[in-house]
Amino acid sequence: MEGTTATACREHVRAAALRLTQLGPHLHQLGSGELAVVVEELDELARRVEAATVAVVIEAESRGVVAESSATNTSDWVQQHARSRCPAEATRLARVASACREPRNALLSRAVLDAEVGTRNAAVALTELAKLRPRLLDGTHEQVVGWFTTVAADGWPTHIRQLRRRILALHGHEDAFQRQEDMLKHGNTFSKAVLDDGMSEYRLRLDPEGAAVLEAAIDPLSAPQPSDEMGADLRSPGQRRADALLEVCRRAAAAGGGAPATTKSQVIVTMDFADLRDRLGHGTTLTGELLAPETVRKLACDAAVLPMVLGRDGGVLDVGRARRLVTPRLLAALWVRDRGCTFPGCTRPAPWCHAHHVRHWADGGGTDLLNLALLCGRHHTVVHQRGLTADVCSSSVTWHT
C-alpha cells in the first residue's frame, strides 16, 4: 500500500497477533454461517504469514544477517527466531527461501512470495526439479518450472510428484523415460503378512506396465453385480477387487497348461505409430498412465492390435479390424518347438512364456514361426531393453547376447 512503512506493517502484525488472542472468547457472538468464513480468513492469514516469513529470510540471507549471526546456517537461524517451528519445518523454509533467490526459479519464487504456493508444495517441487534437471532437454527448464508452479498452487505433494513421469516423457533426453521405466521394474515386490484374526495381508508394488496388466485383468470382474432377487451388491470396492483377483487366479489355475483359447485381458494403449516404430515418445493407457515406447512394443508382441485413426482433437475417425498377432494354434506350435523360454540358461516352461516377435511387427516383422520365439516375462523385458536379435530356424532359436 502506498505510503506504508515497514514500521507501520510491524505494528499491524503485532496488533493482529493481539486480536487473534481475543478471538476465541468472542466466537459465540458469531452466527453459525460465519464460522466457515472465519476459518477461510484465518487460512488466508496463515498463507500470508508463511509468504512474509520467506521474504524476511530472503532479506536476512541477502544482507548477510544470517552469515554474521551465531547460527550455523539459515535453518538454524530460522529455528532460533521462530521457536514454534520444528527442525524439519525450519529446514524446509530455509531451503525454499534460498531457492527463491535463484533467477531460474523466478516463476516459483513469485508464486511463493504472493502466497499462491506454500513452502511445503514449493519444497516438493524443488526436489522434483532437482531430480529432473540433469535429464531435461536444453531450453525446457522454464516451461517445466511453470508446470510445477501451476500444480503446486492448486494440488498436493502427490500431484506434484506425479508430474515427473509426464515431464520426463515430453521433455527428457532421448531414452530417459524408457530408462526410468526399466529401473522401476526392479522395485516390483509382493509380500505377505498373517494377521491375528487369521486373515492374510498382501502388499503389492508394481511398475506402470505391471499395474496396467493387473488393472486390465481385474477391472472387468470388479464391477458391482446387477441387483437380483438377492438384492444389490453390498460389497465394498476393496472387497470387489479382492474377489476379482481371486477369480483371475482361479481361472488361471483351472486352465492348467493348455494353450489359451482367447486373447489376453485388454490393456488399451494409444500411441502414435511413427513414435512406436521409431521408439520415441510414450503411450497412454485409458487411466492416463504413461508407458515408455519399448514397453508398449513388448506388450504388443503377444496381443491383439486394433488400429484406430484419431483426429486432431483425439476423436476416433476410423476403427480397423482387430489383428490377432499370435493365434492359439500358432502359440501351441511355439510351445512344441521351443519347449520353454529360449533365452540362454533359462528353464521357465512354455506356459509361463510370451510369444516375442524377433523382428517387431511395427518394423515389418511377420507373424510366423520363423519370426517368433518364446520368452519368459523377465527375459522378454531384457530382450527389449537391450535390443537383442536372434536367429530362428524350424527347430531352435539362437540369441545374440
281 three-class SS: coil
265 pLDDT exceeds 70?
A: no
Highest mean pLDDT among 68-77, 176-185, 247-256, 266-275: 68-77
Cell triple for 356: 516375442
Helix (H) / strand (E) element for 284: namely strand 283-285
Give the DSSP per-residue string, 112-155.
HHTTSS-HHHHHHHHHHHHHHGGGBPTT-HHHHHHHHHHHHHHS
Q: What band does 253 get if pLDDT is binned at 50, 70 and 90?
A: confident
pLDDT band at 304; cut points 50, 70, 90: low
Phi and psi torsions of 390, nearest 5°: -150, 160
Residue 124 Ramachandran class (φ > 0 left, ψ -120 to 50 alpha, else beta):
alpha
- Give how far the C-alpha of residue 63 lies from the chain's centroid of Cα atoms, to the nearest Å: 41
- For the CA atoms of 107, 108, 109, 111, the dihedral, rounded to the nearest 10 degrees, stands at 90
Closest CA to 47 of 130, 159, 128, 152: 152
Taking the C-alpha atoms of 337, 341, 345 and 347 in order, what is their torsion angle to the nearest 10 degrees?
Answer: -100
Give the CB-side neighbour count of residue 184, counting CA atoms within 13 A.
Answer: 17
Alpha-carbon span 257 to 244, nearest angstrom: 22
- Please report the pLDDT score of residue 324 as a whole number: 46
Query: Which residues is 285 bridged to in the sheet?
Result: 269
Give residue-wise pLDDT tens across range 10-36.
999 899 889 999 999 989 999 998 999
Would you list the domain boundaries of the chain? 36-173, 269-323, 326-400
Q: Do 265 and 288 meet the contact criterion of CB atoms below 8 Å apart?
A: no
Q: What's the confidence (pLDDT) of residue 54?
A: 96
Q: Is residue 139 left, alpha or beta, with left meaning phi > 0 and alpha meaning psi from -120 to 50?
A: left
How confident is the model at residue 311, as a pLDDT? 58
Model pTM above 0.85:
no
Q: What is the pLDDT of residue 309?
A: 52
What pLDDT score was predicted for residue 229?
64
CA-to-CA distance for 241 and 133, rounded, in angstroms? 39
The pLDDT of residue 308: 59
Per-residue model confidence (pLDDT) at position 107: 94
d(CA 73, CA 356): 57
Question: At residue 2, does pLDDT exceed 70?
Answer: no
Residue 321 pLDDT greater than 50, yes or no: no
Average pLDDT taken over every residue of the chain:
85
Over residues 92-115, the mean pLDDT reads 95
- Could you tell me which residue, 267 or 377, shows the higher pLDDT? 377
pLDDT bracket for residue 150 (50, 70, 90): very high
Q: Is the pLDDT of residue 263 over 60?
A: no
Judge whether residue 364 has pLDDT over 70: yes
The per-residue pLDDT for range 49-99, each reduced to its tens digit, is 999 999 999 999 999 999 999 999 999 999 999 989 999 999 999 999 999
Query: What's the rounded Cα separation, in Å, for the pair 220 and 240?
Result: 11
For residue 197, give the amino acid letter.
D
Give the pLDDT confidence score for residue 233 in this predicted structure.
Answer: 78
pLDDT band (50, 70, 90) for residue 114: very high
* Tens digits of residue pLDDT in 201-232: 999 999 988 888 888 888 888 888 776 666 77
